[in-house]
Structures are given as structure tokens and as C-alpha cells.
Amino acid sequence: MSDWFQKEVVLSAYPRGCHLVTHEVLAAVPELRSYSVGLLHVFIRHTSASLTLNENADPDVLTDMNMAMNKLAPESWPYVHTCEGPDDMPAHIKSSLTDSSLTIPIADGRLATGTWQGIYLCEHRNRGGRRKLVVTIQGQRD
């Protein structure tokens, strides 16, 4: 029989850029260890930050991701939606280019990611603050 678990996780505040948060998510959801098989779904409750699953070994990946995002949606474009500052509309675009949620398989109480994969918070605002995630697990407990 399938079992469900859900929890809100509030991440630390991060500056603009992509930040590895796998450890924060796992620390906030120790219940994951009790699932022998299942799915972890992580949803971010914001439109100016996003999530992605990417390489977690070489820090140059983060540097390049941040550079590419800033080139794809620069603040210098003549946006119409600017009421929250020049970083607001580029943040919405960057969020749409990545994703608002991730679904990751669970095997034997751990994330069944690849060797070099990690969960990233992509903070697209200069000062986005603490971001809220809804973490849902569906699966079979031990």
C-alpha cells in the first residue's frame, strides 16, 4: 500500500545565483529514510526562484549556469513589468526556463539520483529571502 507524507521546508536565504540545497532538503525531511521505494516531489512556492537537478561536483558548473542565465535574461532589456525592481522580470523569465518542481525517485531510503546530481535552488532575485518548498513523498515504507 502506498503511503503519503508532506511537509513545508523553508530554505536559508541565498544571494542571487544557483545554490546546491540537497543537504538542506534531506536534513529537513528525515522521514525519507523510512521509504524503501517511492518518489520525492519538491515544489517551490515562488515565481522568481526555481529548482533544477544538475551536476554537484564541479563548482565551475554553478559559475557557468549563473553566467548563462544572466545572458539569457539580462536586466538591461526594456521590460514593462518593473514595479518590483530591475531584477524582477528577468527573475520570472529565468524561473520559466528552469522549473518550479522536481520529482526524484527514492530507493532504499535515499534519493536515487546519479552520482553527480544534486538539487539546486536557482535564486533569480538580488534579495529573494527565505524560499518555501512543499516536499511530498509517495511510496512504500519499510
H or E element at residue 139: strand 132-141
- CATH 2.60.120.460, domain 3-141, yes or no: yes
Condensed to tens digits (0 to 9), the pLDDT of residues 16-67 reads: 999 999 999 999 999 999 999 999 999 999 999 999 999 999 989 989 999 9
pTM: 0.94
Of 32, 56, 57, 55, which is closest to residue 42 (Cα–Cα)? 32
Domain positions in the chain are 3-141
Q: Which amino acid is at 48?
A: S
Under DSSP, the state recorded for 39 is: E
